[in-house]
Amino acid sequence: MSSTPTLQDLMAAAARGDHAAFAQVYERTHAHLFGVALRILGRHQSAEDVLQEAFINIWKNAAAYRSSVGGQDIQPMTWLIAIVRNKALDALRSRTRRQETELDEEQGEGASTQAAAPSALDLFSAATQALRIEGCMGGLDGTHRQSLALAYYQGLTHSEVAARMGAPLGSVKAWIRRGLDKLKDCLKAQGVAA
């Protein structure tokens, strides 16, 4: 009876240059990893491009994957998600820089940027919203606030938040869920659509 190799086994084989094992890694993970990229970028084509770059990086650096670092287990999927997330964030920053450059060029040419530039009211509304969120975040329990900040401001996965906080994964998931619920309630109480 042949057992199906684990993702960890496949990563080890890919690190040794096994193309078939790498193809299995791709087959098992590409749909989930595409979802990660799409959530960050919001564009189908951009997510596909990032996924392609990520898998090239994964193939070249498969030997860099370690199942344990400093006594802490690291699942292959966590490592793969981190690569895709970093590539997607790089692409997002690059897109933002390109848009800023294009806007600067348009302004330099004397083109009308009134539609592209946010109005004073838009800026005020955004600042007010940020202050409300900050105020609501300040009212949360320390564990809820810290876990939300790590997950949403720093973009860490639940597992990474648990490792950073030295807490069980289940507790971190509960803190994030409860923190989001309390944040939503606080914003609703202020008349802000959450």
Interstrand relation of 68-69 and 72-73 (parallel, antiparallel or unpaired): antiparallel
Say which amino acid occupies 190: Q
Question: Which residues touch 84 (CB under 8 Å, ≥6 apart)?
Answer: 33, 36, 37, 50, 51, 54
Among the listed residues 137, 153, 142, the one whose alpha carbon sits nearest the alpha carbon of residue 175: 142
Q: What's the pLDDT tens digit per position in 111-154? A: 444 455 667 777 777 777 777 777 888 888 888 888 888 887 67
Asked whether the predicted pLDDT for residue 20 surpasses 90, the reply is yes
Among the listed residues 76, 78, 93, 81, the one whose alpha carbon sits nearest the alpha carbon of residue 22: 76
Q: Region 73-90: what's the mean pLDDT?
A: 89
The radius of gyration computed from the CA coordinates of the chain, to the nearest angstrom, equals 21
Pick the more confident residue, 156 or 146.
146
pLDDT of res. 22 = 94
- 155 near 85, Cβ under 8 Å? yes
pLDDT of res. 192 = 59
CATH 2.40.10.220 is right for the domain spanning 118-187: no
pLDDT of res. 24 = 94
pLDDT of res. 52 = 94
Distance separating alpha carbons of residues 96 and 40, to the nearest angstrom: 13
Q: Where are the domains of the chain?
A: 7-98, 118-187
Q: 69 has which bridge partners?
A: 72
pLDDT of res. 1 = 45
Cut 0.75: pTM above it: no
Distance separating alpha carbons of residues 136 and 138, to the nearest angstrom: 5
Q: Region 83-101: what's the mean pLDDT?
A: 85
Among the listed residues 176, 192, 175, 177, the one whose alpha carbon sits nearest the alpha carbon of residue 133: 192
Q: What is the mean pLDDT of the chain?
A: 83
Q: What's the pLDDT tens digit per position in 31-80? A: 999 998 988 888 899 999 999 999 999 999 888 888 777 777 788 888 99
Architecture of domain 7-98: Orthogonal Bundle (1.10)
